Copies of this chain bind each other. A is one copy, B any other.
Amino acid sequence: MSAEIEELLKRYQNYPNVVGIIVLDPFAIPIKTTMDYTLTVHYAALISTLTFKAAKMVTNLDSSNELVNLRMRTLNHEVIVVPSESYIIIVIQKPGT
């Protein structure tokens, strides 16, 4: 896994309210996680599906446009999804940051 991703993970892990980080490969397979494996696989499946749909929706509305990131604020957490060609990074943090 590229040094760039390792560097990104280290940076996110030091944020005070981060409760979990997951890195998926382009096929939504978890390749790095700070959470237990069952929850990781559950997040990976649901969030990758939603992210692919969001990315398709964005280009559907405007073919010159592209999804940069997705943030879901829930009662308990904030989930930030950063898709790229080679990885999907998912950061779960306590709200209020």
Give residues in A with beta carbon < 8 Å to B. Answer: 42-43, 46-47, 49-50, 53-54, 57-58, 60-62, 64-77
Contacts and interface: CB of A to CB of B under 8 A. Distances in A.
B73 A69 contact: yes
Contact of A53 (B50, B60, B66, B69): B50
A43 B60 CA distance: 10
Contacts of A46: 57, 60-61
A54 B72 contact: yes
Contacts of A47: 57
Nearest to A76: B65
> 3 shortest A-B CB distances, which residue pairs?
A71-B71, A68-B73, A46-B57
A74 B50 contact: no
Of A66, A69, A72, which is in contact with the most chain B CB atoms at under 10 Å from its CB?
A: A72
B74 A66 contact: yes
B54 A65 contact: no
Given A66-B75, A73-B68, A50 B54 contact: yes
